[in-house]
Every structure is written in structure tokens, then in C-alpha cells.
Amino acid sequence: MFADDTKLYNRVQKNSSKGGDDIQEDLNHLKDWSDTWLLRFNASKCKCMHMGINNNERSYVLGEEEIMTAKEEKDLGVYITDDCTPSLQCTKAANKAMTSLRIIKRTFKHIDKESFPILYKAYIRPHVEYCVQAWNPYLVKDIKAIEKIQRRATKLVPSLREKPYQERLEELNLYPLEIRRLRGDLIEVFKILNGLEDIHPDQLFTMSHNTGTRGHKFKLFKRQLKKGLDLRKFFFSQRVVDVWNNLPEDVVGVNTTNQFKGKIDQHWKENGYGVLKGLNL
């Protein structure tokens, strides 16, 4: 028997007198439970990560062994850091994708426009899109590092090698990766609001009551953030609100996910990417 991926977390308020006592108390309960049921935790494999500028960074013990502190940790395939930025994950994902790109380049002497989508979508793109809603890059350097993978990959097709990047994408019927990430966000919002995901919409979003005469009836309310919370505005539940609210009624009002995908593709094809502001294309 194994007890894996067990996590404890607690938000310690600034100037709190307790300062993490709750977590130590929970660790003590876990130790007692593990001793009772003979399912002992390996304290040497446990890690503690301190987040936030006001964190007192106290130490914790599991039994008699102190838990080591980590600045970064891989959790279910995604790298988490103590500053909550996705830069490390972007670097790791880009490196994996680049390795796959080199292998394909060495293995196949000639790749045409018909075979490229099969290889690219199966072996390269999944590395830069795995669980991307959780680590969506927002720094320009990270966005460019991820987009660089697709830029290089599209040059595998000899007939397209000398053409500009945007033309290569059109020939191969591909979106820029930044657009694909936004498209994925919108699809996820549609599924959540229509009960197609096992999560209640209230856990992430608040419906707007100020629909007026513009926009659609599924508009979301955008929370006002406190100063200094720049990182928070890039979280999924915040970054997607403006783009979702600007979609027309005939796009968001469909019944199925496939219909939504088709409608949003048609909307962007007819109006161009100009309807999306602030992208680093």
C-alpha cells in the first residue's frame, strides 16, 4: 500500500501569532495515523515549499525528522516554484519538445505537408501543451521560448522553409501556440459553464449581472485585484474573462463543445486575430 501525492497547505496571515502551527499539528496527526495503520511516510521524500513575501519560512518535522525545504518541485508533470511563475515549466517543456524535434529531424529524411501534422501533433506539440491551463506563460521571454518550438518545427517541411512563419502556419492549417492556448482556455470556460466538467462554475467564476444591450447573457464578472497582485491576473479564472465576454452571442450560445470549437474558429477566421488584443504574435 502507498500514500502518494499527499499535500498539506495553509495560508498564514501577515503578523499571525500561529505562524504555521496548524500545519505542524496536521503533520503530527498524520504521523500518529501512519503509526497506527503501519503505513509509514518516508520523511526524506517529503518537501516543504514556502510561498509569499511575508512567509516566516518556519521549519517542520514529521516524527523526529525535519522536512527539507524546496524552491521547486515537479507535481504530476508540472514544475511548481516558490514564486509561482511558470518560467521553469516553460523551459522544461521547450527542452523536451526540442529533443523530440531533433529526433524527428534525424529520423525522417523528407517530411511533406501531409505527414508533418501527424508527427508534430503526436510527438512535439503535446510537450508544450500538457496541463497548460495551469502554467500558461505570460512573460514575453517564456511566450517566445514556447512559440520558437513551432517556428522551428514548421521548417521541417522543405517547401515551406523559406516562407514567413505566418504563411507556414496557414499552409499547415495551424494556429500560433499563443492563440491555441487562448482557444483552449475558452473551450474550458464553455465546458465549465455548461456543466460538462466535474466542477461547479461558482468555484472559478461569478456571472455578471450587468449584461446591458451589448454582449451575451453568459458574461462573467471580472474581480478587481489588490495592488501588487500582478501574478493573480494571469490565473485562468482572471485572464480569460475579457476575451470570453467579447465573444458574440452566436458563438457562446451553442449546445455542444464541437459546435463551440467550430464557431470560434469561424469567428476568428472572419475577423482575424485583430479581435484579440495584447497578444505577443
Q: Are residues 121 and 153 in the same domain?
A: yes
Q: Are residues 206 and 152 in the same domain?
A: no
Q: Average pLDDT in the 162-191 region?
A: 94
Of 120, 140, 174, the residue at which a domain comes to its end is 174
Q: Are residues 104 and 185 in the same domain?
A: no
Question: pTM of the prediction?
Answer: 0.84
Task: Name the pLDDT band for 276 (thresholds 50, 70, 90).
Answer: low
pLDDT of residue 101: 96
pLDDT higher than 90, residue 205 = yes
Q: How many Cα atoms occupy the beta-carbon half-sphere of 79 within 13 Å?
A: 17
Question: Mean pLDDT lowest for which of 2-6, 16-20, 109-113?
Answer: 16-20
Q: Would you say residue 201 lies in a domain?
A: yes
Q: Would you say residue 52 lies in a domain?
A: yes
The x, y and z cell numbers of residue 151, run together, are: 517556428
Angstrom distance (rounded) from CA 103 to CA 111: 13
Q: Average pLDDT in the 206-210 region?
A: 83
Among residues 204, 201, 193, which one has the least CA distance to residue 134? Answer: 204
Q: Average pLDDT in the 33-57 region?
A: 87
Distances (CA, A) of 34 to 8, 104, 143: 15, 48, 44
Number of domains forming the structure of the chain: 3
Q: Would you say residue 27 lies in a domain?
A: yes
pLDDT digit string, tens, across residues 57-72: 889 999 889 999 999 9
Q: Are residues 48 and 86 in the same domain?
A: no
Domain extent at residue 188: 180-275
Question: Mean pLDDT lowest for which of 83-97, 99-113, 222-236, 266-280?
Answer: 266-280
pLDDT higher than 50, residue 278 = no
Q: Are 64 and 31 in contact (CB under 8 A)?
A: no
pLDDT of residue 25: 92
Angstrom distance (rounded) from CA 171 to CA 70: 45
92, 95, 101, 105: CA torsion to nearest 10: -160
Angstrom distance (rounded) from CA 130 to CA 74: 13
pLDDT of residue 17: 58
pLDDT of residue 151: 96
| Sign (positive or negative) of CA dihedral 198, 202, 205, 206 | positive
pLDDT digit string, tens, across residues 62-102: 988 999 999 999 988 999 999 889 999 999 999 999 999 99
Q: Average pLDDT in the 104-131 region?
A: 94
Q: Between 276 and 72, where is the model more confident?
A: 72
- In percent, the amount of the chain with pLDDT more than 90 equals 65
Q: Tell me what the pLDDT averaged over the chain comes to.
A: 88
pLDDT of residue 281: 43
Q: Between 220 and 272, where is the model more confident?
A: 220
Q: Would you say residue 280 lies in a domain?
A: no
Task: Name the pLDDT band for 41 (thresholds 50, 70, 90).
Answer: confident
Of 174, 191, 207, the residue at which a domain comes to its end is 174
pLDDT of residue 60: 93
Angstrom distance (rounded) from CA 143 to CA 179: 11
pLDDT higher than 70, residue 218 = yes
